[in-house]
Amino acid sequence: MRPKVIQLYKNLLYLGRDYPMGYEFFRERLKKAFLKNKDATDPEQIKQMIARGEFVIKEIEALYMLRKYRTLKKSIPLGTIRVP
């Protein structure tokens, strides 16, 4: 169980590099969230927290994709791309 938690933390830290409010903000919030739950011992509760963390990863990835899409959409003028 511990390796899964550590890997989740590392993955979230990696994703936090591009967080809109800054890496330091993201890192502090992430650290606080993990420290808050450090005394959890129930395996079922830990599995639920890991699942929630994986959901957060998916949400952050979706946020980044949406941001890239919006940037791309702004850079290409409407009507310049024609579909055959």
Question: What are the angstrom distances between the C-alpha of 60 and each of 15, 66, 69, 70, 83?
Answer: 7, 10, 14, 15, 31
Q: Could you read off the pLDDT of 13-69 as tens digits, one per residue? A: 998 888 888 899 999 999 999 999 899 889 999 999 999 999 999 998 998 888 877
pTM: 0.75
Buried-state track 34-68, b at ≥16 Cβ within 10 A, e below 16:
beeeeeeeeeeebeebeeebeebeeebeeeeeeee
- Name, in order, each residue with C-beta under 8 angstroms of 50's C-beta and a sequence gap of 6 or more: 4, 5, 8
